[in-house]
Amino acid sequence: MIEQVNRVEKQAVLLFRALHSIYVALGAFAAATLVTLLGAVRGPFQGAVWFRRLVGLGLVMGFGGVGGLMFGSVRLFQATRLSLINIR
């Protein structure tokens, strides 16, 4: 019984971390889109340096979003595995 409670607590922590990383990933994707659009709009007026910086920042944020989704997916997989153990 205690083992099952411990597994459920661990599962809750995994789900919380997965949700947190997925929210961060969504924010990073939104920020990457906005920054890249700003770079595309301001690029012709501000010059190539601004364009490259904004697009580079957008790429970094996009990679952060992908990393957050990957981390969240791993945590969800671990939480699902614990659920299956509890069901058995």
DSSP string of the chain, one letter each residue: -HHHHHHHHHHHHHHHHHHHHHHHHHHHHHHHHHHHHHHHHHHHHH-HHHHHHHHHHHHHHHHHHHHHHHHHHHHHHHHHHHHHHHH-
Q: With cut-offs at 50, 70 and 90, classify the pLDDT of residue 69.
A: very high
73 lies in a domain? Answer: yes
Domain span at residue 35 reads: 25-87
61 lies in a domain? Answer: yes
Q: Which amino acid is at 59?
A: L
12 lies in a domain? Answer: no
pLDDT (average), residues 71-81: 91
- Structurally, the chain folds into a number of domains equal to 1
Q: The pTM is what? A: 0.77
32 lies in a domain? Answer: yes
68 lies in a domain? Answer: yes
Q: How high is the pLDDT of residue 39?
A: 82
